[in-house]
Amino acid sequence: MSRKIIHVDADCFFAAIEMRDNPDLRDRPMAVGGRPDKRGVISTCNYEAREFGVRSAMASAYALRLCPRLTIVPHSMLKYREASQVMRNIFLDYTDLVEPLSLDEAFLDVSDCERHQGSATLIAQEIRGRVAEALGITVSAGVAPNKFIAKVASDWQKPDGLTVVTPAEADAFVRRLPVDRIFGVGKVTAEKMQRLGIATCGDLRRYSVHELEEAFGSFGPRLHRLCRGIDERDVCTSRRRKSLSVEHTYEKDLENLAACEEKLPDLLAELKQRLQRLEDDYLVVKGFVKVKFDDFTSTTVERAGTQARLEDYAQLLEEAFERGARPVRLLGVGVRFVDLTQKESNIQLDFFEDPTAPQPPS
């Protein structure tokens, strides 16, 4: 039996909450984010601001240059979390299979829901109405046989939209889908596809899995499946971490490598504190350093087997810095995990233990 998956995504969530609570912000460009004079970043913005090119993850100062009339409101995380929980409780009225992706979006598997005679379309319509009534904001939804298509569909008619893709329509829907709608196809991959004459998922289907793997590496097999609308992932009610990191945006650019290296000890100390609060069923397998330069380009260098020693991260930092060799606005350090709850044979190691230190006799 075909599954019935709904992806619900709030429309410009943080901004919508702020406009709800302050009607003066409506019908004019506004965003939620940090202060432009403190190297702040835009978290989200309303659709009026998007018409000027303002986007999430954009520097607030740059957003103001694009849209001088932009009003930037500080975050009110308590309000956002409360609204997110209201949405979550509504979702749980229909199914226990709810997979939150963030505060403002989630997958629901309603295959076994008996409400509305099992109609996923009517369930999605009712959920959208209940969220609007309870919170005074709009959400968009996509209904489809799997997670990939449902997520694409929820974005199809934003804002305040509902797109339904039935099993019979799925193949045609995906075939004409632009390749940049596939999660993971970023600017670089999209440009490579363009050079190969690939514009839609239908174009991707001309290539075998081996050809795609040769052209796009480990992403190739996934592209081969998704361009055919194949996605067998379950809706998971428990999401486990795959990484943990700390990063800092500096009020003044770090002019050279030496200035960046001075910041490493504090970043590593904070990372260690956060790691100590994790459960014991994670195995650290990689360390990484992230650098964002003053031109907003960024790079990440990671390496398996990295110990949390200053000299190891300093080496990663040096490699990352050399890729841009220009002033740095943001530095981050982190680790990637293996989930030991899914791997029975691994043993948790102390990431912050010096492997060269003498060990006590057994």
The C-alpha atoms of residue 142 and residue 169 are separated, in whole angstroms, by 13
Q: How confident is the model at residue 349 (pLDDT cuts 50, 70, 90)?
A: very low
61 SS3 class: helix
Fold designation for 176-226: DNA polymerase; domain 1 (1.10.150)
Measured CA to CA in angstroms, residue 150 lies from 25, 117, 154, 221 at distances of 31, 20, 6, 20
Enumerate the CATH 1.10.150.20 domain ranges in the chain, comma separated: 176-226
Edge-to-edge strands, sheet with 98-102 = 98-102, 105-109, 5-10, 139-144, 162-164
Asked whether residue 328 carries a pLDDT value surpassing 70, the answer given is: yes
What's the CA gap between 313 and 246, in Å, rounded? 13
Predicted pLDDT of residue 283: 80
SS3 328: strand
Domain 243-342 class, CATH top level: alpha beta
Q: Greatest CA separation found in the chain?
A: 71
- Which residues carry a binding-site annotation for Mg(2+)? 9, 104
pLDDT above 50 (res 360): no
Q: How confident is the model at residue 239 (pLDDT cuts 50, 70, 90)?
A: low
Given the residues 18, 48, 99, 105, select the one marked as catalytic. 105
The segment(s) of the chain belonging to CATH 3.30.70.270 are: 1-165
Alpha-carbon gap, residue 54 to 29, rounded angstroms: 9
User: What's the Cα-to-Cα distance from 184 to each of 101, 148, 187, 226, rounded to whole Å?
Assistant: 16, 12, 10, 11
Give the CATH class of 1-165.
alpha beta
The answer to whether residue 169 scores a pLDDT higher than 80 is yes
Confidence (pLDDT) at 347: 37
Any catalytic annotation for residue 105? yes
Q: Average pLDDT, stretch 323-345? A: 79
Residues of the chain with CATH 3.30.1490.100: 243-342
Bridge-based pairing of strands 30-33 and 139-144 is unpaired
3-state DSSP assignment of residue 83 = helix
pLDDT digits (tens, 9 = 90+) for 103-152: 999 999 999 998 999 999 999 999 999 999 999 999 999 999 999 999 99
Where do the H-state alpha helices sit in 113-252?
120-135, 147-154, 167-175, 187-195, 201-204, 209-216, 219-226
The distance from CA 215 to its chain's CA centroid, rounded to whole angstroms, is 25
pLDDT > 70 in the chain, percent: 91
Pairwise CA distance, residues 194 & 153, whole Å: 23
